Amino acid sequence: MNRTLTATLFAALAATAPATASDYFQPLTSQDTVYNWNGVWLGIGGGSGMIIEEINAPVFGTTISGVGGRGYFGKLTVGYDHMFSNGAVLGASVSGRYGDVEMSWSVPGSPFNGSVSADYGIDVIGRLGYSITPRTLFYVLGGYSWQHFELSSTSHVVQDGWDDNGYVVGFGTETAFRNNWTWASEYRYSSYTGANIGGFGGLGIDPVTHTFHSSLNYRFGGGPTAETRAPIPYAWSGLKIGAAVSLGVAISKFSTAGGSTYDGLATEGFLGEVNVGYDREFGERWLAGVVLAAEYIDASTSATGAGVTATAEADDFGFDALLRVGRKFNDRSLGYLIGGYSWQRVAASLSFPAISDSISVNGFSFGSGLEHVLSERVTGYIEYRYTMYEDISLGAATTIEPASHTVRAGAKLKLY
């Protein structure tokens, strides 16, 4: 997003809202006053995305269930919400996205070097939410997604671009930290109808995307309402236990001694986590803590060609030892960064010759999250993590560089 576009957006906000600049940044007056979600809003943001395609190449008798890529995108959004007296919020929005979420491969001297990318698209979203705290909205979303995909290579035969239609579903949270300003984080899963590339032996591509979004929103009607809720006396310092569920995607890059690369082989699936942690507050706004977590993962992918099937699985245990630093938006909402050590066991097999192996890998995770007070002892959170693992050597010829993206939704119980 260039500076001129950003400056134009904020200039338009200042010109249309009947208030002074100091009003825009005025803190909300009461931690117990319910926020007004009614009205039109504009958002600017972006995030990270993963694209996974199922590839069918009849001319080669090949099927690959998980061809994946990764990248980043920016977006602009306009939306409208209506808040009901019971705290429910119903809204709609339109987002325009532009980025470079791409799967690529490279074979020196081969005409099949190239990439498949999801570059720009539009989402038309409806959402239904509930004010889980006076300033925080949790919501589910769904709607229509349009995406442009581009297939390119060094071969003139394998060049194509297509527009694809699909659906999008997801969930997220949005927190108010100033009268007109909110911060939203959400996960979206999009599935598209796919395309047949007739010029290359009937090659079929069926894409889906997993994306994590963050955005800064300006609400023209934002601010406190006349409604209040009883305060919840919650102290963030203390020992906590928690559990979470997650959707995850792993993307592995393959490199050979001859200089060929393939980025990448993708697995997608589910994750369950239990954790224990300790947090301590510093001053009025800051918090630091540690988190130890154990997780079970169920994710796999496969590729079939010439009568041989290769599979990769992450269907075993993993462990994390993480540090986190956060800042409170208000008494009930915390935004934080998290990072540290991760360990995971993965498995791979080949149908002929019959080979299977399990490998333990070390890695480093980092990400961000939003946590909200639900009662005197319970909080709920949504968190995104990106994990980079150490390279895996399969003999002297091939190196695998694995990485994973996960979005977790969970709750914590404070013990003391």
**pLDDT computed for residue 10 by the predictor:** 33
| CA 153 – CA 155 distance, rounded (Å) | 5
| CA 90 – CA 79 distance, rounded (Å) | 11
**pLDDT computed for residue 414 by the predictor:** 96
**pLDDT computed for residue 71 by the predictor:** 85
Q: Which residues contact 353 (CB under 8 A, 6 or more apart)?
A: none
**pLDDT computed for residue 32 by the predictor:** 75
Q: What is the pLDDT of residues 244-273, one digit of tens each?
A: 998 777 776 666 666 666 556 677 778 899
Residues paired with residue 308 on neighbouring β-strands, in sequence order: 305
Taking phi over 0 as left and psi of -120 to 50 as alpha, with beta for the rest, 47 belongs to: left
Taking phi over 0 as left and psi of -120 to 50 as alpha, with beta for the rest, 259 belongs to: left
Mean per-residue pLDDT, 276-287: 94
9 pLDDT exceeds 70? no
Q: What is the pLDDT of residues 290-299, one digit of tens each?
A: 999 999 887 7
Give the residue among 296, 356, 293, 347 at the shortest CA–CA distance from 320: 293
| CA 196 – CA 91 distance, rounded (Å) | 36
Give the residue among 338, 347, 345, 233 at the shortest CA–CA distance from 292: 338
Instruction: For residue 382, give the amino acid letter.
Output: I
pTM as predicted:
0.75
Higher pLDDT, 72 or 12: 72
Q: CATH second-level architecture of 38-226?
A: Beta Barrel (2.40)
- The alpha carbon of residue 398 and the mean position of all alpha carbons in its chain are separated, in whole angstroms, by 29
**pLDDT computed for residue 250 by the predictor:** 73
Q: Which residues contact 86 (CB under 8 A, 6 or more apart)?
A: none
Higher pLDDT, 103 or 4: 103
Token pair for residue 179? 């009268």
Mean per-residue pLDDT, 132-154: 88
| CA 326 – CA 279 distance, rounded (Å) | 10
Higher pLDDT, 291 or 49: 291
Q: Residue 108 gets which letter from DSSP?
A: T
C-alpha angle 37-42-45 in degrees, rounded to nearest 5: 110
| CA 319 – CA 297 distance, rounded (Å) | 11
Find tokens 């931690």 and name the residue: 31
Q: Given this structure, which CATH class describes domain 233-416?
A: mainly beta
267: helix, strand or coil: strand
Whether 318 and 344 have beta carbons less than 8 Å apart is answered as yes
Q: How do the domains of the chain map onto residue ranges?
A: 38-226, 233-416
Residue percentage of the chain with pLDDT more than 70: 71
Mean per-residue pLDDT of the chain: 79
Phi, psi of 366 (to 5 degrees): -150, 155
Q: What is the pLDDT of residues 223-251, one digit of tens each?
A: 888 888 877 888 999 999 999 998 777 77
